[in-house]
Amino acid sequence: MSVANVTMFEFQTAESVEEFASWYKDIGSHPNNDVSLFVRTGETSAIGTSVYPTEEDRQNADKLRNARTSTYLSGIVKEIIPLSGDVLVH
């Protein structure tokens, strides 16, 4: 069964959302990610959904996200709320 991360983001500015989206398209996605969606939900907010084939891949993506939170993302993101679970419909 596939597993997913659903991550809610609150960015510093509207431009930060665009900056993050461009960065994510180029290098942000985990290599074993099957599906990646990033949806702007407000001027400075967004939700990302990433689907992985295994729990191990999902956990590795978590580690990568956590490392980036303290470096690259710290200057453009106010808050990140990560959630995860089994994919029931794909």
* Strands annotated E in 1-90: 3-11, 35-40, 45-52, 77-86
Q: Which residues pair with 6 in a beta bridge?
A: 49, 83
Query: Residue 48 and residue 10: Cα distance in Å, rounded?
Result: 11
Predicted pLDDT of residue 11: 97
Predicted pLDDT of residue 70: 74
Predicted pLDDT of residue 68: 77
Query: Which pTM does this prediction carry?
Result: 0.86
Using one digit for the tens of pLDDT, what is the confidence trace for 9-52? 999 999 999 999 998 888 766 778 899 999 999 999 999 999 99
The structure tokens listed for 57 are 């891949």
